[in-house]
A = this chain, B = another copy of it.
Amino acid sequence: MSKVFVLGHKNPDTDSICSAIAYTHLKKELGMDAEAIRLGEANNETLFALEHFKAQNPRLVKRASDEVKQVILVDHNERQQSIDDIDEVRVIEVIDHHRIANFETTDPLYFRAEPVGCTATILLKLYKEHAVEVPADIAGLMLSAIISDSLLFKSPTCTDQDIQAAKELAEIAGVDSQEYGLALLKAGADLSNKTLEDLISLDSKEFEAGDHRFEVAQVNAIDVAEVLERQAELEVLISNTVAAKGLDLFVFAVTDILNNNSEAIVLGRRSDIIESAFESSVVNNRVILPGVVSRKKQIVPVITEALS
């Protein structure tokens, strides 16, 4: 069997990169010639995890079809979030924890999606189902993914299964979840080396709802006000993105990782839906979203519903 790429989504987060590495390890143990790749730069949080567990950052790849015929998707299934030439390769497996959309195959495949907080939680099941031991460094990366996606178990996306998986993985990795987790999230909230362009693009995802297209960027921060101080400059960049991509709506959410709230800048011709959708006033293109930390569970479904 020729080589297979294992890849997470564009603007990769810690789950996308760590789950690509973790699933690649499992597939190799099962005899597949697999390589984890990434579609963009690893963020500070992911780099912290990779360094802590002495793991190699996967290779950045922009086109799969030049090198492989088959790919495995982790942590996403929507075509527009995947590698640009996704239609030129065959997707043989998907391991994911998101909604399913814009995904279609000609042939049957292995598709495992579960409504849990993190891809790594599903991967731990797969390791067990195949009776393959999780090495300590891989366990550390999987734990990092769960902590990242669940904001240290505080996000409403976090399930009992994620908490249980994290417990097992922390033991194998030999770290304290709370202590390591806070250090990991703080590394991710360090925005000092980020440009404003980075903020609105590094963890940004595009979605479709009915005939509308919208994008939601999210950054974690310790000091939300500091990020939003530069609203005027951010709005210029966001407006350019809206125009260039023909988007109907752009939401830039800044999430306070210590207090678990978000505040967002909303722009685009359909930003009119935000007030009623979130039952919160929009003042000067800004909206406060109390208790909102999860794009997947608390932002995307609300906007999708409002636009459909």
The residues of A with any CB-CB pair to B shorter than 8 Å are 97-115, 129, 296-297, 301, 304-305
Contact = CB atoms under 8 A, between A and B. Distances in A.
B106 A113 contact: no
A108 B305 contact: no
Given A97-B108, A100-B100, A111-B113, 10 more contacts: A99-B104, A99-B105, A99-B106, A99-B107, A99-B109, A100-B105, A103-B103, A107-B115, A110-B113, A111-B112
A106 B105 CA distance: 20
Contact of A115 (B102, B103, B108): B108
A87 to B, nearest CB: 11
B106 A103 contact: no
B112 A112 contact: yes
Contacts of A110: 113-115
Nearest to A92: B115
Interface of A, secondary structure class, is loop
A109 B105 CA distance: 19
B112 A301 contact: no
A46 B98 CA distance: 36
The 6 closest A-B pairs by CB, nearest first: A111-B113, A108-B115, A101-B104, A99-B105, A100-B105, A106-B301
A112 B97 CA distance: 12
Contacts of A305: 106
A107 B296 CA distance: 8
A304 B106 CA distance: 7
A100 B109 CA distance: 8
Nearest to A110: B114
Nearest to A125: B129
A135 to B, nearest CB: 23
25 contacts: A97-B108, A98-B108, A99-B107, A99-B108, A99-B109, A100-B100, A100-B103, A100-B109, A100-B111, A101-B104, A101-B105, A103-B103, A106-B301, A107-B115, A107-B297, A108-B113, A108-B115, A109-B115, A110-B113, A110-B115, A111-B112, A111-B113, A111-B114, A112-B112, A129-B129
Contacts of A100: 100, 103-105, 109, 111
Nearest to A208: B104
A100 B97 CA distance: 16
A118 to B, nearest CB: 11
A106 B297 CA distance: 10
